[in-house]
Amino acid sequence: MMLGKKYGKFFQPSIWPYYPRIPIFRLLKDTAKRIPDKLAVLYPRNTTFKELDVLSDKLAAALVDLGVNKGDAVALFMWNSPEFIISFFGALKSGAIVTALNPSFKYKEAKFQLEDSEAVIAIVDNDKYKIIEKIKAELSKLEKIIVLGKKTVAAFSLKELLKRCPPTLPSVEIDPVEDVAVLQYTSGTTGLPKGCMLTHYNVVSNIIQCSVSPALEIRESDIFLSHLPFYHIYGMTWLVCVPMRMGISQVIMKRFEVKEFLRLIQEFKVTVVFTVMPVITLLANSPKIEEYDISSLRFINNGGTSIVPSVVRKFEKLTKVPVINGYGLSEASPVTNTNPLCCIKHDSVGPPLPDTEEKIVDLETGTKELPVGEIGELIIKGPQIMKGYWKRPKETAEALRDGWLYTEDVAKMDEDGYVYIIDRKKEIIKYKGFTVGPAELEAVLMEHPAVADCAVIGKPDPIAGEIPKAFVVLKKCVKTSEEELIKFVEDRVAGYKKIREVEFVNSISRSASGKILRKKFIELERRRAAGKQ
């Protein structure tokens, strides 16, 4: 059994006996039995825990009736809503694997994930139907579409299925340790997005680590404001799953908007918000914040993006609401670190969660553990670590070594066990908490008839964290403009991925094997930024 660890004045005890080998949906069933009439969702409409459980039972029965077998992938292409929660648990109850798509995806991105995951059914919002209908004609495994709205010639209606099917939980044998529950896609610096295979046990363990850990003091009486996208693992674990286990009521936002965000906190007396640094920055600089009573907030949690301590201090001074910083990654279901409320260090992501082991190892070989204060690669071991990458044995072997997940994040650890993320070995771009793979944008740019070569990097930005910037080499005797290239990419990718700046150059630095040396462009931008200060 793993022991607890002391971090300064804070003690993080082991909870190892409390990681049950059960399917994720069992957490919802247990809560629905314990507090059936409590409201799980307060907005946009009242929905009890019992209603969520019964409706997801109905959907599970419908999916089995439509031909879903254990281990099939069911895709969710939806905005935040109670229907997302119903679809998530309904798919799991049918024995399926859930793969959630970013609802801002366009045709090419959606097709890749649907094809790679081998999804057999897609449950989609009404405004996503046209994209999926076109893709379905090109994918042999995508057999059926379920829409939230009215039934069409080519799609079933979710509402009608829930009316028609009995609330009978299908009899499916699930091995929580071995069976994949969620196929969570993450972007990399080379190649296309990879699917992280998260088992039921991985996700259940992380839900319990998050909810039982004394670090955040999560309570059943809390009210969450859920604006983080549910398709993202950060939102999926903290907002779709943790409240279902804890019996916490939540207020769901389809999209973030400052005025509505503040209004909902005031109206529903929200106590906890999980968010990203760009939102905290907007709030700290918004004159609207003084127009609303947000005194009900116990704390705000930042994750997914680096924290800006000066902005956080400004926000805390203005609101008297503490901000804590955490860390995780899709490969870890995702949470591995968080600052305890009683001992916050703003520039750190905090110590690891219970039963999560961490080391800082040398960057060259990854085999030598480094002492306190030295910078190296962060590696992690725990019950929440993924099974591997979907259909990618080589990448799995590189990431998982001797039971340790190699994060490719450069970090250091202090004498209290708090971790500080310094940089990334990966060259992924973090735009407002979203992960953007530079190789994906480079591939799109190379489709433009005027582009001979290109490289995309994350340029530091005070509001977004980083913005995608392209360095482009044009073909001889061919002209184009920055605006044209930006529009070309924007038409082909989700909004958060679009190129924000283009710089024309004479050549792109590459290694002997042909790999783009993005580090040179990253260093160039850093020198420019330093020169302006």
Whether 168 and 115 map to the same domain: the answer is yes
486-493: long-range contacts, CB 8 A cutoff, minimum separation 24: 488/444, 488/445, 488/447, 488/448, 489/441, 489/444, 489/445, 491/106, 492/106, 492/108, 492/444, 492/447, 493/106, 493/108, 493/109, 493/440, 493/441, 493/444
Nearest CA to 427 out of 412, 415, 410 is that of 410
Whether 452 and 493 map to the same domain: the answer is yes
Contact 438, 427 (CB under 8 A): yes
Whether 386 and 489 map to the same domain: the answer is no
- Domain boundary pick from 408, 440, 461: 408
Nearest CA to 81 out of 111, 123, 121, 112 is that of 123
Cα separations in angstroms, 25 against 60, 82, 310: 11, 15, 41
Please tell me the distance from the alpha carbon of residue 280 to that of residue 324, in angstroms, as a whole number. Answer: 11
Structure tokens at 410: 């450069």
Bond prior to 334 in cis (omega within 30° of 0): yes
Nearest CA to 449 out of 490, 493, 480 is that of 480
Whether 352 and 253 map to the same domain: the answer is yes
Whether 372 and 473 map to the same domain: the answer is no
Residue position matching structure tokens 């969450």: 224
Helix, strand, or coil (residue 371): coil
| Domain membership flag for residue 424 | no
Q: What is the mean pLDDT of each run of 10 residues along the chain (533 residues)?
A: 53 80 98 98 98 98 97 98 98 98 94 97 95 94 93 89 94 97 79 91 97 88 97 96 98 96 98 94 92 97 85 95 96 96 93 96 93 95 98 97 94 94 78 85 92 93 93 94 97 95 94 76 88 68
Whether 394 and 448 map to the same domain: the answer is no
| Domain membership flag for residue 416 | no
Hey, how many other C-beta atoms are within 10 angstroms of the C-beta on 503?
Answer: 14
Burial state string for 408-435 with b = 16 or more CB within 10 A and e = fewer than 16: bbbbbbeebbbbbbeebebbbbbbbbbb
State the DSSP string of 423-456: EESS--EEETTEEE-HHHHHHHHTTSTTEEEEEE
- Domain boundary pick from 378, 408, 438: 408
Please tell me the distance from the alpha carbon of residue 479 to that of residue 68, in angstroms, as a whole number. Answer: 51
Please tell me the distance from the alpha carbon of residue 66 to that of residue 240, in angstroms, as a whole number. Answer: 25
| Domain membership flag for residue 76 | yes
Whether 435 and 287 map to the same domain: the answer is no
| Domain membership flag for residue 423 | no
Kindly give the residue spans of alpha helices, DSSP state H, lying in 175-334: 200-212, 233-235, 242-246, 258-268, 277-284, 309-319
43-50: long-range contacts, CB 8 A cutoff, minimum separation 24: 43/251, 43/252, 43/264, 43/268, 44/81, 44/82, 44/252, 44/254, 45/82, 47/82, 49/244, 49/247
Q: 52 in the Ramachandran plot: left (φ > 0), alpha (ψ -120 to 50) or beta?
A: alpha
Whether 231 and 83 map to the same domain: the answer is yes
Structure tokens at 28: 């919802």
Kindly give the residue spans of alpha helices, DSSP state H, lying in 66-198: 82-93, 107-117, 129-136, 158-164
- Which CATH number fits the domain that encloses residue 231? 3.40.50.12780
| Domain membership flag for residue 418 | no
Whether 114 and 236 map to the same domain: the answer is yes
Contact 93, 56 (CB under 8 A): yes
The identity of residue 499, as a single letter, is I
Bond prior to 393 in cis (omega within 30° of 0): no
Whether 268 and 342 map to the same domain: the answer is yes
| Domain membership flag for residue 320 | yes
| Domain membership flag for residue 141 | yes
Name the pTM for this structure: 0.87
Per the structure, the complete domain to which residue 384 belongs is given by 5-13+23-408
Structure tokens at 525: 């931008």
Nearest CA to 76 out of 202, 206, 200, 240 is that of 240
Q: Which residues contact 320 (CB under 8 A, 6 or more apart)?
A: 295
Structure tokens at 446: 């190379």
Output DSSP code: residue 407: E
Whether 447 and 399 map to the same domain: the answer is no
Domains in the chain: how many in total? 2
Give pLDDT, residue 151.
79
Whether 174 and 207 map to the same domain: the answer is yes
Contact 472, 454 (CB under 8 A): yes
Give pLDDT, residue 279.
92
- Domain boundary pick from 377, 408, 439: 408
Please tell me the distance from the alpha carbon of residue 237 to that of residue 322, in angstroms, as a whole number. Answer: 22
The identity of residue 506, as a single letter, is N
Please tell me the distance from the alpha carbon of residue 349 to that of residue 303, in angstroms, as a whole number. Answer: 9
- Which CATH number fits the domain that encloses residue 519? 3.30.300.30
Contact 307, 331 (CB under 8 A): no
| Domain membership flag for residue 420 | no
> Phi and psi dihedrals of 18, rounded to 5?
-100, 20
Structure tokens at 16: 């190892």
